Amino acid sequence: MNINISSSALGDTLAWIPYVEEYRRKNNISITLRCDYKELFVKAYPDILFADEVNDIDFDIGWFQNDLKGSVKRTQPLQKTASDILQLDYREIKPKINIPDTSRPFYQKYVCISTQSTAQAKYWNNKTGWDEVISFLKHNGYIVVAIDKHSVHGNQDAGFVNRIPKGVLDNTGNFSLSERIRFIKHADFFIGLGSGLSWLSWAVDTHVFLLSGFSKPFCEFSTNITRIHNDDVCNGCFNTAEHLFDRGDWAWCPEYKSTNRMFECTKSITGDFVIRKIENFLRNKHV
């Protein structure tokens, strides 16, 4: 049986690979799988044969523009894409990954954050939010470590240039995923967006604060997470059948582009709201 995960996105791969193993286990068959980031999975899934490419593909897992059911897939959890294609009953399954280095990067208490993404709609677009949260964390004795690939990212032609917040330990750069995992694994928690690093944090059992208005809360995982979302404003355009996400448009905002309501889904999420969520988590953690 040959299976291909067509997406090169880290989050998609982490979301879908558990169902390949579930299909193998349920049908008791040999599977050859092509996917990106296979170094994360080879030791974690020893009964799957990982290949750089596969021919005669039996199942191709992905979201395809010419798929007439594509709009339906966007209205359900991301993981259900894989269970539907493989004709499995859906239940949330956490991916297993190889963690090669378990050493703590430093002894002080710290949290990891990821502020960058691949479209402006995915960012936390509240102008003061990150600064307020980082000030709160530092006041409470945390080192705040930025672990994005880019310290500055965006699209200048579209009018958006995003810099990591001031006051953080800048650990951005072209580091390996193993190094990212090492930092995330020992963090008290992770704060990020609807991105691959949030899925990676979930995979290594680090609590995730996930800020997103671009996607609906049902889209991502539901365990070991504090989902920060405002349902009282326009939100969740990615998970509606009416809108097809345009990856080529950095400023994609299908309802309110170029108006004062543009990106209100996350502009409306205040730093104080996120801080209260963190405070609640810390209180419960220490009960």
Helix (H/G/I), strand (E/B), else coil: 116: coil
Alpha carbons 246 and 83: distance in angstroms, whole number:
25
CA proximity to 49, closest of 69, 65, 29: 29
3-state secondary structure of 126: coil
Q: Annotated catalytic, 36? A: no
Question: For residues 76-114, b (16+ Cβ closer than 10 Å) or e, as one string?
Answer: bbbbbbbbbbbebeeeebbbbbebeeeeebeeeebbbbb
Q: For residues 100, 102, 106 and 110, what is the CA-based torsion angle, rounded to 10 degrees?
A: 100
Single-letter amino acid, residue 164: I
Active-site hit among 12, 67, 157, 249:
12
Q: Which residues contact 276 (CB under 8 A, 6 or more apart)?
A: none
Give the total residue count for the chain: 287
Radius of gyration of the chain (CA): 19
Give me the active site residues, please.
Answer: 12
